[in-house]
């Protein structure tokens, strides 16, 4: 059997471009966990046990003080599957819940991990904070601008430790790249590009509505979203491509890449935004969100361009995802595989080339430890009660989600929109109406603060 270090190195480098460097085999947990005094244990409950929710839990369980005591999911099949995976790693069966509110009543739970679809994040995070839990919440933090505002206000008025799952904030080569950007060596940066070209994403075939699968609490899955008949396309992974539950690639990959664009430029609120695109690759498939999109943000002294496309891998600089900081002296290109600097050449006259303005930086490869470092950073904040050490506090998640949602609103309206950051509104009533998502099925929008 490979050692843990060998496994992490091999899987991280091999899968970094796919965004899967956080995969960890749960059967290895038994070999790395040690016995901890009950007084030192941190007890965790997971809400939403598929996908990144379970990856976040598995990452935390690599720290021996963490004990999972509860799993909450609307799908009993998922609860059964994930419990079996935990048992392979020597983890005893946690308590099961289908209603997260019941789980939050458990006074023994210190941390709630939120790995549910986006439309649930706001209610679950605010309820968890009210229940006195520290929270690790998957990105994007919310499914609307209004929800983002409510979550920011709630966390800021509490003493809870809240980390957002934008784990690239803890990835060493991402941190090194931004240090270079902040050094000023690139010169004036006039344009930042962020993109995700996802060749693996094929058409979502149109499927008829069908009975709710056995073991699924579908009413709980819908929650505040509009009530609709069950359709397999809207369930589990593919919820991302429906406006009721998420914001498409813009809020899926976009939040990660745009976060680093904002981090590098020390920016938050754009002055204006416009977007164009549509369902060009698969115009007749079942998805609602655009498969092709270009969004341009004006930040005053630089522009940010977000672009995405499904079914295509040929992105900028030969990368299917990334961020590029384009300066007068050179361009820094960054993705999950590493970063490099491509210098501009000094050309005082069109016929002369005096050489590069700055030294090139060859590819600095990533090692794929971001998620593990991110959860460890969160646990350290929980133990020390020091929110200042969090790598992705609520404001980081707020900024990335806000910019992404503003882009989606510009796409929906088809107009250039000017953003009033102080008053949190556009110059356009039609766009303002899209800042808040309507709650259904008896669920109420959470109170601010």
CATH no. for residue 50?
A: 3.40.50.720
pTM for this entry:
0.93
Shared-domain flag, residues 226 and 276: yes
* Residue 376 covered by a domain: yes
- The pLDDT, as a whole number, for residue 249 is 97
* Residue 443 covered by a domain: no
The span from the CA of 396 to the CA of 200, in Å, is 29
Shared-domain flag, residues 382 and 359: no
pLDDT in tens, the chain (449 residues): 344 344 333 333 333 333 444 567 888 898 889 888 888 999 999 999 999 999 999 999 999 999 999 999 999 999 999 999 999 999 999 999 999 999 999 999 999 999 999 999 999 999 999 999 999 999 999 999 999 999 999 999 999 999 999 999 999 999 999 999 999 999 999 999 999 999 999 999 999 999 999 999 999 999 999 999 999 999 999 999 999 999 999 999 999 999 999 999 999 999 999 999 999 999 999 999 999 999 999 999 999 999 999 999 999 999 999 999 999 999 999 999 999 999 999 988 888 888 999 999 999 999 889 999 999 999 999 999 999 999 999 999 999 999 999 999 999 999 999 999 999 999 999 999 999 999 999 999 998 76
* Residue 444 covered by a domain: no
The span from the CA of 233 to the CA of 70, in Å, is 28
* Residue 448 covered by a domain: no
Shared-domain flag, residues 265 and 358: yes
* Residue 143 covered by a domain: yes
* Residue 441 covered by a domain: no
- First and final C-alpha spacing in the chain: 50
Shared-domain flag, residues 119 and 19: yes
Express each pLDDT in 21-45 by its tens digit. Answer: 456 788 889 888 988 888 899 999 9
Shared-domain flag, residues 116 and 224: no
Shared-domain flag, residues 254 and 333: yes
Domain count, the chain: 2
Q: What CATH number should be reported for the domain holding residue 411?
A: 3.30.360.10
Shared-domain flag, residues 205 and 323: yes
As to burial, measured by CB atoms within 10 angstroms (0-12 exposed, 13-18 middle, 19+ buried), residue 415 is: middle
* Residue 442 covered by a domain: no
Shared-domain flag, residues 28 and 68: yes
Shared-domain flag, residues 206 and 149: no
- The pLDDT, as a whole number, for residue 21 is 45
**Residue 151: CB atoms within 10 Å:** 28
- The pLDDT, as a whole number, for residue 447 is 82
The span from the CA of 57 to the CA of 311, in Å, is 31
Query: Could you tell me if 181 and 314 are in contact, meaning their C-beta atoms sit under 8 angstroms apart?
Result: no
- Domain hosting 207: range is 172-365+398-432
The span from the CA of 428 to the CA of 292, in Å, is 24
Shared-domain flag, residues 337 and 326: yes
- The pLDDT, as a whole number, for residue 350 is 84
- The pLDDT, as a whole number, for residue 22 is 55
Shared-domain flag, residues 270 and 296: yes
The span from the CA of 116 to the CA of 140, in Å, is 11
- The pLDDT, as a whole number, for residue 394 is 98
- The pLDDT, as a whole number, for residue 184 is 98
Shared-domain flag, residues 89 and 187: no
* Residue 445 covered by a domain: no
């Amino acid at each position: 059997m490979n050692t843990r270090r060998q496994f992490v190195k091999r899987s991280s480098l091999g899968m970094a471009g796919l965004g899967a460097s956080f995969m960890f085999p749960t059967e290895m947990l038994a070999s790395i966990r040690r016995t901890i005094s009950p007084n030192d244990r941190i007890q965790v409950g997971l809400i939403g046990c598929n996908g990144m929710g379970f990856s976040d839990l598995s990452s935390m369980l690599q720290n021996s003080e963490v004990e999972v005591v509860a799993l909450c999911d609307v799908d009993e099949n998922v609860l059964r599957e994930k419990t079996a995976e935990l048992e392979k790693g020597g983890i005893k069966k946690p308590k099961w819940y289908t209603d997260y509110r019941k789980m939050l009543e458990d006074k023994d739970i210190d941390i709630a991990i939120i790995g549910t679809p986006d439309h649930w994040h706001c209610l679950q995070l605010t309820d968890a904070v009210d229940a006195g839990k520290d929270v690790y919440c998957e990105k994007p933090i919310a499914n609307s601008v209004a929800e983002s505002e409510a979550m920011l206000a709630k966390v800021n008025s509490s003493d809870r430790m809240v980390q957002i799952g934008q784990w690239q904030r803890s990835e060493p080569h991402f941190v090194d790249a931004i240090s270079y950007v902040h050094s000023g060596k690139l010169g004036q940066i006039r344009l930042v590009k962020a993109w995700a070209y996802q060749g693996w994403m094929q058409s979502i075939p149109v499927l008829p509505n069908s009975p709710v699968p056995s073991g699924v609490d579908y009413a709980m899955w819908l929650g505040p979203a509009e009530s609709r008949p069950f359709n397999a396309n809207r369930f589990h992974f593919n919820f991302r491509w429906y406006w009721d539950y998420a914001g498409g690639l813009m809020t899926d990959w976009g939040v990660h890449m745009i976060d680093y664009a904002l981090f590098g430029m020390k920016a938050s609120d754009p002055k204006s935004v416009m977007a164009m695109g549509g369902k060009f690759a698969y115009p007749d498939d079942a998805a609602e969100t655009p498969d092709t999109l270009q969004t341009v943000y004006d930040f005053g002294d630089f522009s940010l361009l977000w672009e995405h496309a499904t079914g295509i891998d040929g992105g900028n600089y030969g990368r299917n995802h990334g961020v590029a900081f384009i300066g007068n002296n050179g361009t820094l290109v960054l993705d999950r595989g590493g970063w490099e600097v491509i210098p501009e050449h000094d050309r005082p006259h069109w016929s002369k080339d005096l050489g590069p303005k700055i030294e090139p930086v060859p590819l600095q490869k990533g090692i794929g430890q971001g998620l593990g470092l991110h959860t460890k950073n969160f646990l350290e904040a929980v133990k020390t009660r020091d929110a200042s050490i969090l790598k992705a506090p609520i404001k980081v998640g707020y900024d990335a989600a806000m910019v992404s949602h503003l882009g989606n609103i510009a796409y929906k309206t088809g107009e250039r929109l000017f953003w009033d950051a102080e008053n949190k509104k556009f110059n356009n009533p039609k766009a303002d109406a899209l800042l808040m998502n309507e709650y259904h099925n008896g669920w109420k929008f959470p109170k601010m603060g």
